[in-house]
Structures are given as C-alpha cells and as structure tokens.
Amino acid sequence: MISITKKIEFESAHRLSNYLGPCKEIHGHTYKLEVTVTGPIDPDTDMVMDFKELKKILQKAVLNHLDHALILKESEENRKIFSGYSGKITWMETEPTAERMIQWIFLQIRKELPHTIELVDLTLYETSGSFASWKK
C-alpha cells in the first residue's frame, strides 16, 4: 500500500464550556494537521493523488471552517455569550476538544475525497506535545 501525507497548519481559538479549569476561557492554538490517504497509483500521473489536489480538499473541508475561527459548542450559554461577536464562529455539536475536532475533520474530509482515494490516518496537534489521532 502506498500512501501520501499532507501537513497543514491553522490558527483557531476555542473554549471548553464544560471544563473546570483555565480552558473554560477563550484561548488559541496553532493547530497542525497531518492527513494521510491511500489509493492506487494512477498510471497516467504516477501519483496516488496530486498534493495540490489534496491541499484544495483540505482548504475546502477544514481551513475554510477552522482557520482564524472561534470554535464553540453550540449551546444556549455560548449563543448568549457570543451573540454580539461579529467574527468567524464555527459551531460544533460537541465541545471542541482535540478528540471531537479530529472526528469532525474526518467527516469533512471523507466527503470531499475522490472515490478511489481512502483516508487512512489523521493527526491533529493542539500543541507540540498534545495531539489526537484517527486511524482506519
């Protein structure tokens, strides 16, 4: 099996509204995302997938939603607190923990991949030493 991996970075802020500690407050991260896909090598291009095409998919599926966004759990409390906020908010059904974000990212990317390409591994770094992974 041949696979390729694309790494991207994005800046986001979030708060964990059900957390009893400092992460209950808005704080930001420079997230790093590694995306690994596999599929047959196309005999015309000699590639599993063009890295540029994978980058376009990641732009649409991930960066357009999360880069320079405030990521919040959709709740009555958060809607009330941030009702006057005019910036970019991405609402999630769950708290925006690294674990829940990687689940959300998986679903977004999977929808955009060509049918011959399979997602096999995702790693989302919240900090250099803390990350969540999804593996097939």
pLDDT at 30: 98
Domain region containing 82: 3-135
Total domain count, the chain: 1
pLDDT at 1: 83
Mean pLDDT of the chain: 97
The CATH number of whichever domain residue 18 belongs to comes to: 3.30.479.10
User: Residue 70's beta-bridge partner residues?
Assistant: 13, 89
pTM for the structure as a whole: 0.94
pLDDT in tens, 4-44: 999 999 999 999 999 999 999 999 999 999 999 999 999 99
Question: Sheet of 3-14: strands edge to edge?
Answer: 89-92, 69-73, 3-14, 27-38, 118-127, 130-135
pLDDT at 63: 98
CA distance 26 to 51: 34
pLDDT at 16: 97
